[in-house]
Structure 1
Amino acid sequence: MTSYGGYQQTSYGAQGGGDGGGFLGGSQQQGSQGGGGGKSYGDESLRPVTIKQLLDWTEAFPGQDTIIDGSPLTQLTIVGQIRKINPQATNITYTLDDGTGTIDVKKWVDAEKSGDDGAEGFNPDMYVRVWGRLKSFNGKKHVGAHFMREVKEFDEVNYHLVEAAYVHLYLTKGAPTQGGMGGQQGGGGGDGMFVDGGAGAGGGGAGQQGGYGNANDRTAGMAPRTKMVYNYMLNAQGGGEGVTVFDMARDTGLAVDDVRRECEGLMDGGVLYTTVDDDTWAMLEV
């Protein structure tokens, strides 16, 4: 799939690792992951995803094609922070964290071309973008990386999360209704994958209904920023103590004060409540 409701994927600035339009060069010649039969060029399109989406997918049997949001996933791109590096003789394993989960990324080393593909030279805490495929070995998932590069502007981290959310919503709920995105292209988020609503989108309070969902959806009528906080909390793994506004701000890209206001508004609506202190929130049973 080359576009989603008129939204065009970017080439993400890959040097030598991809061509324009969100595809990796030569992908049409590669078969499906672990499966037989050739796939069309469209089936080999590059999809932005979060690590949580990859971890939530369950392989029913060995060699099964990866299906996320009801659509086959072949080539993917993720953005995250390196937490750990484990160099081996034949590959380097990077443990990557994007705020939704952690996953190992394996980059195979070509001894004859060492240092030419940018695989070496990464350091812990550095943000990187990875292009590759989801793999599973002995029940443990990892991403087999075709190409990696450093992320030098943090805006790219937030942009990737918004882009992944947009594609998730397009695949699960269809194209946005006219004017439903509030003039923001790629501004939707996604329940069940990270957040809902556009990162950095303006406006709190009800009355601004997005282009997804229906009248029976609990988020119907919520402003984009309110949806973002609501869906973040819906999928949060904070345990009994809840999640702090600082973690929410870090993961969603919103300002801490904006997160506080949205949490207070959701508390007034009977959705959230404070736990150990005024800055730690949990969701009531839904």
Structure 2
Amino acid sequence: MSDFGNYGGYGDGGFSTDVGGGFSTDSGVNERSQTRTSLTPVTIKQINDAHQDIPDGEFKIHNNELNMVSFVGIIRKVEEQASGVIIKVEDGTGSIDIKRWTDKSGSLSEDLEKYNQELNKYIFVSGALKSFNDRKSIQNSVIYPVTDHNQILYHHLSAINAHLKAQGVTNKSSQPTNGLFVSENDNSSVSPEDLVFNIVRDNSYSMPSGVSIALITQKSTLSNAEIHFICQNLTEQGKLYQGSDEDSYLCV
């Protein structure tokens, strides 16, 4: 099985970036809008420990606001429900249940078979963090199998990086440039995110329909799953936009 959902989409529905207020330039509104549409890599423990200061407010964990989140974990249990399937996923830090509604064009038995085939295997999950009756859930989730185990390490490093940034820990010019996260001014080595951005930027002019994931794979040592994840993040940040199809991107 190659895929559970569409890359870059939100399988059970969409999400709105509209925060109201017309054309307000208030920085607080802009920051809230960015939080609602940005994808934050996390561990399941961070999801379970996240709290809301006010009812229906943003989830927070260690100074980091969470709305759209992503994580990797192992499917440990698949249960049938009347309207869909409950998938229990754990990543070594905790576990969480993901509800998948049965597609109108499919059947419950097909969904059960599909997810049972991935039992005890790693998957990548992204979606909106919500709470109902004090129980957290992932809505509008996108799920696909992890075919390259480098993605597991990459995701956890990304989660660490996001956590450090939320604490105000950033790279200093006095720090060595051969560390894990490299300064943007260091031309000898770049982070995976900068590498993907540079490839798309350098090829966008000659490829107006979009720089394909396949080309980015050829020009880097990253896997398809890693590149999809990075391109999704860069799109959320406004640095890239989708080309003629969901497997190609252009530099803004």
Structure 2-normalised TM-score?
Answer: 0.55
Indicate whether 1:29 and 2:17 are aligned.
yes
1:1-286 residue pairs with structure 2 within 5 A? 16-18=6-8, 27-29=15-17, 40-41=33-34, 43-113=36-106, 121-123=114-116, 124-178=119-173, 180=175, 183-186=178-181
Q: Letter of the aligned partner of 2:17 in structure 1?
A: Q
Q: Distance in 2 between matches of 1:182 and 1:144?
A: 39
* Cα drift, residue 113 of structure 1: 4.9
* Cα drift, residue 62 of structure 1: 3.1
Q: In the alignment, which residue of structure 2 is the partner of 1:282?
A: none
Taking only the aligned residue pairs, the percentage that are identical comes to 30
Q: Distance in 2 between matches of 1:31 and 1:14?
A: 30
State whether residues 83 and 96 of structure 1, in contact with CA within 8 Å, keep that contact through their aligned partners in structure 2.
Answer: yes
Secondary structure of 1:153's partner?
coil
* Cα drift, residue 61 of structure 1: 4.4
Change (3 A) 1:30 1:87: farther
Change (3 A) 1:136 1:144: same
Q: Letter of the aligned partner of 1:95 in structure 2?
A: K
Higher relative contact order (CA 8 A, sep 6+): 2
* Cα drift, residue 75 of structure 1: 0.7
Higher helix proportion, which one? 2
| Deviation per residue, 1:4-32 (Å, 9 max, x gap) | xxxxxxxxx9963317xxxxx96453669
Q: Distance in 2 between matches of 1:153 and 1:172?
A: 30
- Structure 2 unaligned runs (5+)? 21-28, 183-252
Change (3 A) 1:152 1:28: same
State whether residues 28 and 40 of structure 1, in contact with CA within 8 Å, keep that contact through their aligned partners in structure 2.
Answer: no
| Deviation per residue, 1:227-251 (Å, 9 max, x gap) | xxxxxxxxxxxxxxxxxxxxxxxxx
Q: Letter of the aligned partner of 1:168 in structure 2?
A: H
State whether residues 28 and 41 of structure 1, in contact with CA within 8 Å, keep that contact through their aligned partners in structure 2.
Answer: no
Q: Letter of the aligned partner of 1:16 in structure 2?
A: N
State whether residues 71 and 171 of structure 1, in contact with CA within 8 Å, keep that contact through their aligned partners in structure 2.
Answer: yes
Change (3 A) 1:69 1:120: farther
- Structure 1 unaligned runs (5+)? 1-12, 20-24, 188-286
* Cα drift, residue 133 of structure 1: 1.5
Secondary structure of 2:52's partner?
coil
* Cα drift, residue 146 of structure 1: 2.2
| Deviation per residue, 1:47-93 (Å, 9 max, x gap) | 11111111111234431221233232111111000111112232221
Q: Distance in 2 between matches of 1:148 and 1:119?
A: 14
